């Protein structure tokens, strides 16, 4: 059908950018729900790289007033991102993670459209896109330790301190967690018990989401309260994976977070959060083997196992948990989030710096984007 041709061109266009768009029986249906044919046609020629109105008028051959009228509905829908910087507003075609998995949930709407597209998005991620995203050596989010879970605080670098990051930002916003929203809407998914308003934004992205009703502005104090409650609830702080001017700080659960939820063809050892430069140090002497750490670990890096050497005891003697069980820890699987240490009743768990430090964090968002493109082997001449 003629209408399908434009979606086929759109798929080809999207596959030239940061992420892939794997084939699926319902991929076309999902794109038809997300884009009208006219939007698909327009965006086939729209740049992924942030561009000014002047650059766009030259590239697309449209007068500025016509361009603004065409873009505005797509900005509201999260298909075009409009971010303000010192040089003015720049516009870019968003990617499939943004327009399928972030923006719909940020609006937090429960309507017919959400109930049609979000179950498809869930199925598409678990069966197709999730495994493809995991092939990136670089990740979009990095685990950043829960405050006060690092043993030697003299070692903490500025980009490893969640509280310092928050203090550096002067504009804060919060959205509903897009991942929980799509799970809670989907009748075939297990609803998440965690709080919904936990997706934090900063800087230009915060302004964009507030302006287009995807978030509400909050104070720094409210941001810190959300982080504290999230840590208490066992959520992982997932921060933009670059050092300067972060735009996102998620609070992720293992049941539905894009970067943590189970995906077919993947094991837990295939981490989709970039792990922090820390791992757990366990004090066996003070540990009571209560098992709380194993319950809270989001990536199953901590397990409780039967103790191999049972203590001598008399018949009828009541044994303590640590007489029967012990902690089994997998440092390679650990993402260094500190969720387990945060609530350890005996403080037997603390984060220490890894000896095989992975400190290779991009300085800026642009550098992270270039890494994604290089890792995908993209033709840089075709993406502008």
Q: What is the 3-state secondary structure (H, E, C) of the chain?
A: CHHHHHHHHHHHHHCCCCCCCCCCCCHHHHHHHHCCHHHHHHHCCCCCCCECHHHHHHHHCCCHHHHHHHHHHHHHCCCEEEEEECCEEEEEECCHHHHHHHHHHHHCCCCHHHHHHHHHHHHHHHHHHHHHHCCCCCCCEEECCCCCCECCHHHCCHHHCHHHHHHHCCCEEEEECHHHHHHHHCCCCCCCCCCCEEEEEEHHHHHHHHHCCCCEEECHHHHHHHHHHHHHHCCEEEEECCCCCCCEEEEECCCCCCCCCCCCCCCCCCCCCECCCEEEEECCCCCCCCCHHHHHCCCCCEEEEECCCCCCCCCCCCCCHHHHEEEEECCCCCCCCCHHHHCCCCCCEEEEECCCCCCCCCCCHHHHHHHHHHHHCCCHHHCC
pLDDT range class, residue 132, cuts 50, 70, 90: confident
pLDDT range class, residue 134, cuts 50, 70, 90: confident
pLDDT score for 376: 84
Is residue 54 domain-resident? yes
Is residue 59 domain-resident? yes
pLDDT range class, residue 262, cuts 50, 70, 90: confident
Average pLDDT of the chain to the nearest whole number: 89
Return the bridge partners of 216, or none: 174
The residue-averaged pLDDT of 118-146 equals 90
User: What is the C-alpha separation between 202 and 152, in angstroms, rounded?
Assistant: 28
The residue-averaged pLDDT of 22-32 equals 96
The candidate with the shortest Cα–Cα distance to 143, out of 258, 230, 240, is: 240
Is residue 5 domain-resident? yes
Residue of 171 and 267 predicted with greater confidence: 171
User: Is pLDDT at 323 greater than 90 in this prediction?
Assistant: no
User: Is pLDDT at 92 greater than 50 in this prediction?
Assistant: yes
pLDDT range class, residue 261, cuts 50, 70, 90: confident
User: Is pLDDT at 173 greater than 80 in this prediction?
Assistant: yes
Is residue 1 domain-resident? yes
Residue of 123 and 379 predicted with greater confidence: 123
Is residue 250 domain-resident? no
Q: How many domains does the structure of the chain reveal?
A: 1
User: Is pLDDT at 1 greater than 50 in this prediction?
Assistant: no
Residue 72, domain CATH: 1.10.10
Is residue 240 domain-resident? no
pLDDT range class, residue 245, cuts 50, 70, 90: confident
pLDDT range class, residue 138, cuts 50, 70, 90: confident
User: Is pLDDT at 252 greater than 80 in this prediction?
Assistant: yes
The residue-averaged pLDDT of 259-264 equals 80
User: Is pLDDT at 315 greater than 80 in this prediction?
Assistant: no
Task: Provide, rounded to the nearest whole percent, the portion of the chain with pLDDT above 70.
Answer: 90
User: Is pLDDT at 270 greater than 70 in this prediction?
Assistant: no
pLDDT score for 265: 63
Q: Which structural domain, as residue segments, surrounds residue 87?
A: 1-94
pLDDT tens per residue across span 330-379 = 988 899 999 999 999 999 999 999 887 666 889 998 899 888 888 888 77
User: What is the C-alpha separation between 335 and 18, in angstroms, rounded?
Assistant: 24
pLDDT range class, residue 25, cuts 50, 70, 90: very high
pLDDT score for 308: 72
pLDDT range class, residue 311, cuts 50, 70, 90: low
Is residue 157 domain-resident? no
The residue-averaged pLDDT of 257-276 equals 74
User: What is the C-alpha separation between 53 and 93, in angstroms, rounded?
Assistant: 13
Is residue 376 domain-resident? no
pLDDT range class, residue 194, cuts 50, 70, 90: very high
Instruction: Give Dmax (Cα) for the chain.
Output: 89
Around 113, how many Cα atoms within 13 Å sit in the side-chain half-sphere? 12
């Amino acid at each position: 059908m003629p209408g399908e041709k434009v979606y086929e061109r759109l798929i080809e266009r999207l596959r030239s950018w940061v992420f892939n768009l794997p084939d699926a029986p319902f991929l076309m249906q999902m794109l038809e729900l997300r884009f009208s044919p006219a939007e698909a046609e327009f965006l086939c020629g729209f740049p992924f790289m942030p561009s000014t109105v002047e650059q766009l008028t030259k590239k697309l051959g449209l007068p500025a007033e016509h361009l603004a009228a065409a873009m505005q509905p797509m900005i509201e829908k999260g298909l075009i991102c409009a971010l303000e910087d010192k040089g003015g507003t720049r516009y870019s075609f968003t990617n499939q993670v943004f327009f399928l998995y972030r923006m719909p949930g940020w609006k937090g709407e429960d309507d017919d459209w959400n109930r049609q597209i979000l179950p498809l998005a869930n199925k598409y991620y678990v069966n197709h896109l999730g495994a493809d995203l995991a092939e990136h050596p670089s990740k979009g989010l990095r685990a950043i330790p829960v405050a006060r879970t690092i043993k030697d605080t003299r070692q903490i670098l500025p980009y490893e301190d969640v509280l310092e990051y928050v203090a550096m930002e002067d504009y804060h916003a919060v959205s509903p967690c897009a991942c929980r929203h799509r799970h809670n809407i989907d009748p075939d998914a297990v609803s998440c018990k965690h709080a919904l308003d936990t997706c934090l934004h900063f800087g230009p992205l915060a302004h964009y989401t507030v302006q287009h009703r995807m978030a509400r502005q909050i104070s720094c104090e409210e941001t810190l309260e959300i982080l504290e409650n999230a840590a208490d609830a066992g959520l992982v702080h997932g921060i933009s994976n670059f050092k300067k001017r972060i735009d996102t700080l998620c609070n992720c659960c293992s049941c539905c977070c894009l970067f943590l939820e189970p995906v077919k063809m993947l094991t837990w050892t295939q981490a989709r959060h970039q792990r922090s430069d820390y791992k757990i140090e366990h004090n066996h002497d003070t540990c009571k083997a209560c098992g709380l750490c194993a319950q809270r670990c989001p990536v199953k890096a901590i397990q409780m196992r039967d103790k191999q050497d049972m203590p001598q005891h008399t018949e009828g003697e009541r044994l303590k948990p640590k007489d029967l069980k012990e902690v089994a820890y997998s440092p390679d699987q650990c993402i260094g989030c500190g969720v387990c240490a945060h609530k350890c009743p005996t403080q037997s768990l603390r984060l220490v710096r890894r000896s095989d430090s992975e400190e290779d964090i991009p300085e800026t968002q642009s550098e992270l984007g270039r890494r994604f493109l290089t890792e995908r082997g993209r033709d840089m001449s075709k993406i502008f």
